[in-house]
Structure 1
Amino acid sequence: MLSKIAAAAALLFAFPLTSAPAAAHEARAETLPLAQAVHLLSSAAESRDGYQRSSFKHWVDADRDGCSTRAEVLIAESRTKPTIEAGCKIVAGEWFSYYDGVTLTAPGGLDIDHMVPLAEAWDSGAHTWTPARREAYANDLDAQRSLVAVTARSNRSKSDQDPADWQPPLADARCTYAADWVATKLRWQLAVDDREQTALTELAAGCGQESVDYQPAP
């Protein structure tokens, strides 16, 4: 045991805390019960002042592989191998829109929904971000909950509303939706207003063992 302690001390002397590996500073993933995760959200009044959709540049090709963020989501969420034509044009696949329980095989009927809409993100803290961070938010492929392929009809019904004013028409989807919403807000450190927090708390109370997993955004 002493030899192990001595070895550890030697390593600490050789590599002081100020030069710790970058990995030690990476944000760790968290998994929490939904009700507990809701209580972690910070509360603040919201303001839409100055919002423009163009403040969030999207659908970009961040990894320069020829596929936009929209295409990347369609490829990732298709339940069958998608048919992809030149220029990363997705022409067929199979997608399940969990908001309304609809299955589609043609991508034209799908929207890629920002789980927390761009306008809501702006209201909740993104108005203070740099353009680069807003672009990262609008094209977040590193968290499965951030972007979701759903029917255009359900997405446009949702628009920029939060759970106090809109929830999925399919009742069985609402716990998943609440968890996805909370995970996205925690990941990006976005606040909630009072009505939104009340709605999320009420949803969580009826969602049993629903959990939230998220990793803070870089």
Structure 2
Amino acid sequence: MPVRRFVPIAAVVLVASLAACNPSATKSESDSKPAASASAGTDRDEAGSSAAPGAPAGGNGLSLSEAIAKIPAADEVRDGYKRDSFKHWIDEDGDSCSTRNEVLLAEAGRAPEQGARCALTGGEWRSYYDEVTVTAAGKLDIDHMVPLAEAWDSGASKWDADRRMRYANDLGAERSLVAVTAKTNRSKADKDPSEWMPPAQSAKCTYLADWTATKLRWKLSADERERAALETLAEGCSGTAVKYEAAP
């Protein structure tokens, strides 16, 4: 899958309940994304389009509550999980930039300098989990929106190695992977929203939309506790809509 950096299209869109929904609409001050990013779940592969191929029908997509209801229900099973079952941070397009650096380049508010072997210096990023601005790439982690262990529990244990690798390096949707402070990523670890939410209140609805879209994109399930938490948390996000593109 060739990756075209920096020219995203909308795949998960946050909309104000009284405003029209379109990718160029102004985001809510209380639920904003980093300035360098278009919208949650934005596709990194398609250039110049304003809607994601394969997204649910309807101009505004699904409401967050409707999207949550579409996540398949199943018990979680951790048996056999190993992190190295998901080969990640590959250089898919042979440009010397690993998946980690591809995300950093795409999400930079101020672009870093790119040296030999894709070494990055300078630059600026906004971690939407905690509203912290970071000016050194080494202080950022790339978070798998749905952690690898959670994905394993929710269906990825049945995938072959190639599909797990594609999941772990998913550049096809902007919020499958997201650059955040190391502190918040390590606090989150492998927890689902019943156990962890971003510390910034402004991130709440964005994060729920990102999580739900990722689960739907990869056809991952949710257990009863996770679903109950998502439904409860979503009650405060009536103006949030979700679109997603099913993973190939």
Could you say which TM-score interval applies, normalised by the shorter chain?
A: 0.7 to 0.9
* Alignment match, 2:55: 29
Query: Do structure 1's residue 191 and structure 2's residue 221 form an aligned pair?
Result: yes
Partner of residue 66 from structure 1, selected from 81, 96, 114: 96
Q: What is the RMSD of the two structures over their aligned residues, measured on CA atoms? A: 1.1
Mapped pair 1:133 → 2:133: no
Q: What's the CA shift string for 1:42-66, capped at 9, x where partnerless?
A: 1100011000000000000111111
Cα deviation, residue 81, structure 1: 2.0
Q: Which moved more, 1:27-36 or 1:179-188?
A: 27-36
Q: 2:246 corresponds to which residue?
A: 216
The residue aligned with 1:48 is 78
**What amino acid is aligned across from residue 135 of structure 2 in structure 1?**
T
- Give the aligned partner of residue 160 of structure 1: 190
Task: Kindly report structure 1 stretches of 4+ aligned residues shifted beyond 4 Å.
Answer: none
More helix by share: 1
CA distance in 2, matches of 1:139, 1:211: 25
CA displacement at 1:108 relative to structure 2: 1.1
* Equivalence for 2:210: 180
Structure 2 gaps of 5+ residues are: 1-52
Q: How far has the Cα of 1:111 moved from its partner?
A: 0.1
Deviation at 1:161, TM superposition (A): 0.2
Q: How many residues align?
A: 193
TM-score (norm 2): 0.76
- In structure 1, runs of 5+ residues without a counterpart are 1-26
Deviation, structure 1 residue 194: 0.4
**TM-score, normalised via structure 1 length:** 0.87
Q: Which has the larger radius of gyration?
A: 1
Letter in 2 for 1:133: R
1:68 Cα offset (Å) = 0.3
Q: Give 1:150's aligned residue.
A: 180
Percent sequence identity over matched residues? 59
Contact 1:84/1:92 (<8 A) preserved: no
Code of the residue aligned with 2:122 in structure 1: it is A
Aligned mates of 2:212, 2:70 — CA distance in 1: 9
For the pair 1:98 / 2:159, whether they are aligned, the reply is: no
Higher strand share: 1
Question: Amino acid of the residue matched to residue 162 of structure 2?
Answer: A
In structure 2, C-alpha distance between the alignment counterparts of 1:156 and 1:92, rounded to whole Å: 23
Please point out which of 199, 204, 211 is paired with 2:234: 204
